Amino acid sequence: MTHPANETRTAESSWQANLNLSFARREDRTLLARKSHFGPLQIQKVLYPEGRDICHATLLHPPGGIADGDSLEITAQLDPGARVCLTTPGATKWYRCPLGESQQRLRFSLAEGAALEWLPRENILFDASEVRMGLDVELASGAQFLGWELLCFGRRACGETWRHGGLHLGTNIRQSGRALWSERAHVRAGSGFETSAVGLAGYSVSGTLLTAGANIDSALLTACRSIVPSEAGPRVGISALPQVLVARYLGHSSQDAFNWFASLWQVLRPGLLGVAASAPRIWAC
């Protein structure tokens, strides 16, 4: 069932869903050891396109979009040495919210030596959406995280701009009890953020890629900075901080942003995780 963007909804019709995943290392293989879910959240059968070492899983949300009052929570726990790549099959649509807000919370916990890649497709914020997104990552010693989020403000292809609504973002990454990265945003449509030089600067697509848990050497940073978006016009930047790399994108094309992040990932993955990049199969669909 898909919630139309203009549907009038009540609290009783909202989706409350959670998905809990636990991955374990058994000799040379990463296994999905435990899985539980409530509501419309699930994963496809885990795959091993790169061999037994890295477990690939695609997160599924059958309603196709997040509507007024919906609340999704996804947790993943990685045992020592587990290596996991998570992605989504398509864009996440955030519909208008006349009654309240919709939210998604991601909680990832990585034990010593584990590695998690979070490589979703874009988030599309419909006009009048009220969105709350949270990402919390806990890293043990030697664990690494690489992930990104893409935000499309409005639906540019059909002429819809993000004129009403709000966005709350919260990202926290910690390692061994120490904060590596913390970011907060509270944005109201029509507040000037869309045109501000410290906001979207007139662009409609924003993206952030983060790596955490390992320092980036100068050669790897130079290699990342040599990669440019394929389309003309976007603004990009890459910074290396202690144990963190952050890449930012501002433009008008979610596909261009996704392709740029994927190109960065192809360089970062072997440099940080010691394995060549192998794109999830769902990307080819």
Q: pLDDT tens digits for 62-114? A: 887 999 999 999 999 999 999 999 999 999 999 999 988 999 999 999 999 99
For residue 30, name the pLDDT band (cuts at 50, 70, 90): very high
Say what the pLDDT of residue 3 is. 42
No. of H helices and E strands in the chain?
2, 18
Structure tokens at 143: 């664990």
Phi/psi for 99 (5° steps) reads -105, -25
The pLDDT of residue 63 is 87
pLDDT of residue 171: 98
Q: 185: which 2 tokens?
A: 């945003």
Range with the largest mean pLDDT of 13-22, 187-196, 212-221: 212-221
Residue 206 has a CB neighbour count (10 Å cut-off) of 21
Residue 2, pLDDT score: 39
Contact 135, 171 (CB under 8 A): yes
Give 1 or 97, the one with higher predicted confidence: 97
The pLDDT mean for the chain works out to: 93
Other beta carbons within 10 angstroms of residue 54's beta carbon come to 20
Q: Evaluate if residue 6 carries a pLDDT over 80.
A: no
pLDDT for res 12: 56
| 131-152 confidence digits (pLDDT tens) | 999 999 999 999 999 999 999 9
Percent of the residues in the chain that have a pLDDT greater than 70, as a whole number: 96
Residue partners of 182: CB distance under 8 A and separation at least 6: 171, 172, 173
Q: Is the dihedral of CA 148, 151, 155, 159 positive or negative?
A: negative
How does residue 164 score in pLDDT terms, banded at 50, 70 and 90? Answer: very high
- Which has the minimum average pLDDT: 31-40, 60-69, 180-189, 246-255? 60-69
pLDDT band for 159, please (50, 70, 90 cuts).
confident
For residue 104, count CB atoms less than 10 angstroms from its CB and return exposed for 0-12, middle for 13-18, buried for 19 or more.
Answer: buried
pLDDT tier, 4 (very low <50, low <70, confident <90, very high otherwise): very low
Residues 120-157: b if buried by 16+ CB within 10 A, e if exposed: bbbbbbbbbbbbbbebebbbbebbbbbbbbbbbbbbbe
The pTM for the full model equals 0.94
| pLDDT of res. 285 | 75
Pairing between β-strand 244-251 and β-strand 235-241 as defined by DSSP bridges? antiparallel
